[in-house]
Structure 1
Amino acid sequence: MKTNILIIGAGFAGVWSALSAARLLDRAKRDDLSISVLAPQPELRIRPRFYEADVHGMKAPLGELFDAVGVQFIEGHAQGIDAQGRSVSFTGANGQPQQIAYDRLILAAGSQVARPAVPGLGEHTFDVDQMESAMHLEQHLASLAALPASPARNTVVVCGGGFTGIETATEMPARLRAVLGDATVRVLVVDRGAKVGAALGAGITPSIVAACEQAGVEWLAGTSVVAVDAGGVTLDNGEYIASKTVIWTVGVQASPLTAHVAGERDPFGRLKVDDHLKVVGQAHIYATGDTAWAAVDDVGNHALMTCQHAIPMGRHCGNNAMADLLGEQPVIYRQPKYVTCLDLGDWGAAFSEGWERELKLQGQEGKALKRNINGVWIYPPVADRAVALAAADPAIAIAIAIV
């Protein structure tokens, strides 16, 4: 049996880990090692776009790409990790429990929206966290046209004023108009921050304010939702807002699979990794993407739970796991350049650089860049072996990072 690298997850970090591991194996000209990816479906789902309409098409098939580079795909849902026995239990495509051994494990299982104990949150809110939930929201929005006009039908409440909340809210007026026509619609952002865009810093706040004013998006700053029911939300100040559409975007947590691996964690549940993305305290397990608490520079900044960091982390992680098996030197993961490109609906987008988010582009100039990011740059390479392996080199410099 071949020595095996097993990658859990086919998101950005998992796909690029697989390609990078295949690249190093190709260079070594060895046929005694293998690379496997375990995930529910052989497709990269373009999660950063799930706030948009027509979400069902926001995916890229991986079967031909993996075949081209010699990566085996295993369809299934990972259930548990036995770090001592070096095996992963999973539910296969046939619904039966199965197990697979590994020599090196790359945990790239991603993250999920955080769901605190807010009464009614589970039953009465939507989210854009996964393709299925984003499609559920889309179907719900379409169904609003069949309801009689009312403030509740015409009102969308977005809980959370971070990146996902802002992009969802500023896109929502156009999505509602497409369904409800000339009806008077209302979109509100409920956020605990003291002012509009508080979580994103002063550099891009004016762009957020301008975009929200143009779209008619209201902010209820300095407040939070304490309960949700079938008719709307209750705020911490006692106010009740009638709404048939409440969208939850408040925070994310690393995959529950991280709990199966002993190690230090950050508040998001991510496993602390060393400079080579190996889980601290583990000899055979690496973590990457949203499961990894990784330093991006030497001044205290850490990777965020975005594809901006997941793609380069994947390139480094797959390389290093394969280097470990080949007896080669690993590469240090560092990504000091940080940018953001925040979509702001019809108004445009805001592009910033640095951890202080210094504004560089806004409006339609920013929108053109965002369209390239969302529509081209974050998609995987074509199913050509030479092209795909070349694209997985961890030494590739990121000219413009992506969010």
Structure 2
Amino acid sequence: MSKIKKILILGGGFGGINVLRLIQNKFKNNPNIKISIVSQDNYFLYTPMLPQVSSGLIHPNDITVPIRKLCKQAEFYHAAVSYIDMKQKLVTVTREFDGKVHALEYDYLVITLGSNTNFFDNENIEKHAFTIKTVEDALSINFNLINMLENAAQTSDLEFKKELMTFTVVGGGFAGVETMGEINQLVRDSVKNFYPSIGEENISMNLIASKDYILSELGPRLGKLAGEYLKKAGVNVLTKTKAVDAGEDYVQLDNGKIIPCMTLIWAAGVDVDPIVSEIDCIHKKSGKLKVDKYLKVLEHDHVFALGDCALITNPITGEAYPTTAQNSIHQSVTVANNLFSVISGKSNLKEYSFKSKGMMTTLGRKVA
């Protein structure tokens, strides 16, 4: 009897879920293959639409799918990854509901654990800012927006009203720009239609970006056009600027300016999960895993890595591919094909290469 080969997938994001889907199809009804997936959330989340949840435009159910629904022949572990031991081929996980620690064996491992929000060691900003990484984050922002509107409508103190109606988003990438576009539209429409006592003149929207223009992934022409559109929509777009401090009612910029505001949203960077950076293998300085052209972790032929936790470079430009959902999905195809080849004893592994089909962003409810 053939030995059962164990495939373990870590992460339930775009990369992990697509590898799961593809590898289940490739080994459909194969009794000698056991597939398992571990995720801290028991649902797949379509993260690009979190800004729309933050504005109340769509419901969280519209962008989530239960992972168990996708497990046609896989076992699902609702747990957090605690430790990865590549020498022993063991992954330690901690169950979400009772904190019990469990060790999972594997023959083949796929690491796609994504990233964490990076506050660059700024404890005050971490304490006082909202983030936009999870469903809970988006709902918290939405509840806060409504609360600010209600409070502003009931105060006669003009300065306090302006503080309540000042919203600052830090981060000029897709998440920050789309979040600003959504909340700007929500707040302005709400004041116009439901809270006329606030006065549109008391609304202040601030988008802080460290680079010369927003949406640098799209290039200078489109990035600057997007910035001009947001300015026309009433947003103060502050480029070449960083937030360096924050409190309950203010954010301080690196030019010394202090913006009185009650709502600060941080979308200014991500960092590698410490679980990934602590693996005993070859990393980049950032903590990301080094992989070869087949997306195998260096010196570990039975381990693949993709998404935010892996440094995957374009062989033509020598630069890292952007960490987008589009890239993760394409990487998952390469990983699934190569994983199938390795397990099946085939030598025709495919090198990863990708040419973007274009990117899209929304700047509010009427412009994309």
Report the TM range for the smaller structure's normalisation. Answer: 0.7 to 0.9
Cα distance in 1, alignment partners of residues 325 and 30 from structure 2: 31
Aligned residues: 345
| Contact 2:81 2:91 (C-alpha < 8 Å) held by counterparts | yes
In structure 1, the residue matched to 2:276 is 258
Partner of 1:51, secondary structure, is helix
Conservation of the 8 A alpha-carbon contact between 1:277 and 1:317: yes
| Unaligned segments of structure 2, at least 5 residues | 156-160
In 2, distance between residues paired with 1:197 and 1:77? Answer: 32
Matches within 5 A, 1:3-402: 3-26=5-28, 30-53=30-53, 54=56, 56-57=60-61, 58-67=63-72, 70-92=73-95, 93-148=97-152, 149=155, 150-177=161-188, 179-180=190-191, 181-182=195-196, 183=198, 184=200, 185-195=203-213, 197=215, 200-266=218-284, 268-329=286-347, 330-349=349-368
Q: Is the 8 A contact 2:218 2:359 kept in 1?
A: no
What is the aligned-residue identity percentage?
Answer: 24
* Separation of aligned partners in 2, 1:199 and 1:25: 37
C-alpha distance in structure 2 between counterparts of 1:268 and 1:170, whole Å: 31
Normalized against structure 1, the TM-score is what?
A: 0.80
For residue 158 of structure 2, what is the aligned residue in structure 1?
none
Q: Work out the CA distance in 1 between the residues paired with 2:18 and 2:217.
A: 29
> Which amino acid in 2 is paired with 1:47?
T
1:107 aligned partner, one-letter code: I
Contact in 1 for aligned 2:168/2:263 (Cα 8 Å)? yes
CA distance in structure 2 between the partners assigned to 1:326 and 1:241 by the alignment: 60
Q: Return the alpha-carbon distance in structure 2 between the equivalents of residues 217 and 267 of structure 1.
A: 36
| TM-score (normalizing by structure 2) | 0.87
Instruction: Report if aligned partners of 1:5, 1:321 keep a CA contact under 8 Å in 2.
Output: no
Cα deviation, residue 174, structure 1: 1.5
State how far apart, in whole Å, the 2-side matches of 1:268 and 1:171 are: 32
Aligned-residue CA RMSD (Å): 2.1
Cα deviations across residues 345-385 of structure 1 (Å, max 9, x unaligned)?
Answer: 14512xxxxxxxxxxxxxxxxxxxxxxxxxxxxxxxxxxxx
What are the superposed Cα offsets for residues 294-317 of structure 1, whole Å, 9 maximum, x if unpaired? 134433243221111011111221
In 2, are the aligned partners of 1:15 and 1:44 still within 8 Å (CA)?
yes
Alignment check: 8 A CA contact 1:24 1:323 kept: no
Deviation at 1:234, TM superposition (A): 1.1
